Amino acid sequence: MRILSQQLIILALMLTALLIQFQIIWKIESSLLEYSPLAVASLMFIPHGIRAIAVVLGGASALAPIFLAHLIADLAMGLSVTAGVISGVATAVAMAVPLVLINYLSHKPAFSPLALGKTENLSLFRLVIVVGAISSLVNGAIGAVRYSTSPLDLVALKYFIGDMLGVIVVLLLLLAVKRRLMEIGKRLV
């Protein structure tokens, strides 16, 4: 039951972040920047910060709600089911790569949460940055293959920059409200 509630929280956070991304951030970007083939990637993709934190804290259990959020968002934007499934799978794969890699290097089961076990001595902040960086590189490579003729071009760079800025912005927001969140947590306990 705990995993299901955790997955529902991740799904709600992801859908909220995607809504903010598509309804606010992309509209600002499109009004400031001329359309180009690079428009498939944002210069600041906030949902990537949520994804990185979810994978660090939840491990493999975060992958299903991440997939589902991207599928729902793509369908809501009018894309086909096939496009939504491809988007969701690509995102889940990009998030699974750092999870498996870091767990392998830590001698832990491949899909266990990174915040537990032998990686617990690393700060969560650093784990989120590393997961965000590795998954954004994978995400950029997948995006470059999907949307352009050359796998190593500006699309991959824009994915990397946008994803990493999303991770940094979300982490900075969490650090800014950390004291308030800790007070709420103490009252709930």
Residue 71's domain is classified under what CATH number?
1.10.1760
In terms of residue numbers, what domain contains 160?
2-188
Q: Which residues of the chain have pLDDT under 50?
A: 37-38, 151
Task: Please work out, in degrees rounded to the nearest 5, the angle formed at the alpha carbon of residue 24 by the alpha carbons of 18 and 29.
Answer: 105
pLDDT confidence of residue 122: 65
Number of domains in the chain: 1
Question: What's the pLDDT score for residue 52?
Answer: 95
Task: Look at residue 40 in the predicted model and tell me its pLDDT.
Answer: 64
Q: Is 56 exposed, middle or buried (0-12, 13-18, 19+ CB in 10 A)?
A: buried
Q: What is the pLDDT of residue 129?
A: 94
